[in-house]
Amino acid sequence: MKISVIGSGYVGLVSGACFTEFGHSVICADLDQSKIDALNSGRIPIYEPGLEQIVKRNSASGTLSFTTDVEQAVRDTDVVFIAVGTPSRRGDGHADLSYVYAASKSIATAMQGYTVVVTKSTVPVGTGDEVERIIRDTNPDADFSVVSNPEFLREGAAIEDFKRPDRIVVGVEDRRAQAVMEEVYRPLFLNQSPLLFVNRRTSELIKYAANGFLAMKITFINEMADLCEAVGANVQDVARGIGLDKRIGPKFLNAGPGYGGSCFPKDTLALAKTAQDYEHPVRLIETTIAINDNRKRAMARRVISACGGDVRGKKVAILGLTFKPNTDDMRDAPSISIIQALQDGGAIINAFDPEGTEEARKILHDVSYFSNAYEAARGADALVIVTEWDTFRALDLGRMKEELNSPVLVDMRNIYRRDDVEQAGFAYHCIGRA
C-alpha cells in the first residue's frame, strides 16, 4: 500500500520506517527542513537502537522517502498517518492539538480519491471527531474516513514493539476503513498479533488509560519504597513478591526517582484535564501527577543529605541524564529537576550520559559535561546514578573511589548491592532498601 506519514519525529519516523519493512511504500513529511535534509543524507535525528539501519536500507531501495511537501506526500496515497507532536499546552495542561489540526487541513487540500486519515499522535477523546469536521469543512467533496490508531512504543525498544506488538488498537467508524487498516497491519495479523477494533473514542481513551495506569504503577512502588525505608523492609523484594501475582505483573515496579519522558507526564496531565472537562475527575491520576512531581525534588534532597546536609560549593557527579536508557530523550527527565534543585542549593554539577548530552545541553545550563563516568566523577563529593544505562552497572568501584573527592554513591536505580559498594569503601545510599 501507499502510506504517507505527517510528522517525522519519534513516532512518525519509527512508524514510517517499520511500515516499509512490511512491504508498504512510505513517504514521511515534516515541515522542518533541517530534519528532512538530515534524513535524506542518511543522518537520523533521534537515537533509537536499530532505526538507522532500517531507514538506510529502505531509503536505498526507494520504499522510504522524505519531503517537506505535505501535498506531495498525501497525493495518491491510500493511508495518511498524522504523527505530529501533542505537547502539554502552556497555562492549562491540556494537549496542544494545533499541529494535529494544521496537518488535517493540509491533508484535506491534497487528498485525491478515497483516503483513510489515521491519528497516530496521542490525542484526547473526541479529537477524531474534530479532525473529521476540519477535513469536511476544508474539502466538502473529499471521500475519506478518520481512524484512531494510537502508538504503544517504548523508547529504546521501539522497533521490537512495532514488529511484535502486544496489541494493535484501531478505532473505526465504518467497515471500509476497517478493511484498509486490516490490510495495513496484515503482516502482523498473520503473526497473530492481537488486532483490536473498537470505536474511535474508545481507541483514543485506551492510550491515555494505559499510560495513566502505568504511571500509577510506578508511583505506587515509589511510595512503597519510602515506606520500606521507614519500616526496615526491602522494596525490591516487595516488588518481586507482588509482581509474581499474575494480576499485577513484574513490569514498572522498579523504584526510582519518578517517571519522565515524552508520554507519561503529558498524557497523565491531559487525561486529568479531559476528565475534569467532562466533570468526572480521575483522582488517582491527579494524585499520581502530584506525587511524581514532588518526588523528583525529593531525590535532590536525598543527595544533599548524603553530602552531610549541605552541597554549597560541593561538586556532584550525575551519571545518566535521559529519562530512561537507550534513548537521547530528555523530555521531563527526572535529572532535570534533580540537577536544578542541587544547583539551587549551590552545588557544582558534573554530568555524563552515553547518548543524551547534546539534548541535555539545550535544557541544563552551568553543567560540565564529560565523555565518560570516571572523568565526570573526578574531584566530586558525591556520585549519583540517575539513569540505569548498562554501562553504569559494572563500574570499576576501586577506580571510581580514587577519582572521587569523597566516596559517596547515591544509587537512585538500585543497580548495586549494598555489600559490594560498602566493601569498596563507599557510603551507599539507595531507594527503598533499609
Residues acting as catalytic residues: 263
Question: Within 13 Å of residue 54, how many CA atoms lie on the same side as its CB?
Answer: 22
Tell me the C-alpha distance between 389 and 156, whole Å. Answer: 11
C-alpha cell, 247: 494480576
Terminal Cα-to-Cα distance of the chain (whole angstroms): 57
Dihedral sign (CA 244, 251, 297, 281):
negative
Give the CA angle between residues 404, 412, 245 to the nearest 5°.
150
How many helical (H) and strand (E) elements, i.e. helices and strands, does the chain have? 18, 14
Tell me the C-alpha distance between 110 and 87, whole Å. Answer: 26
Tell me the C-alpha distance between 112 and 62, whole Å. Answer: 22
Dihedral sign (CA 374, 225, 426, 301):
positive
Residue count of the chain: 434
Buried b (16+ CB within 10 A) or exposed e, 63-88: bbbbbeebeebbbebbbbbbbbbbeb
Q: What is the largest CA-CA distance in the chain?
A: 75
Tell me the C-alpha distance between 20 and 57, whole Å. Answer: 10
For 139-185, where are the alpha helices, taking DSSP H only? 158-163, 175-184
Q: Which helix (H) or strand (E) holds 52?
A: helix 51-61
Would residue 319 be called left, alpha or beta, if left means φ above 0 and alpha means ψ between -120 and 50 degrees? beta
In DSSP terms, which residues pair with 298 in a beta bridge? none
Tell me the C-alpha distance between 118 and 11, whole Å. Answer: 13
Find out whether 340 and 386 touch, Cβ atoms under 8 Å: no
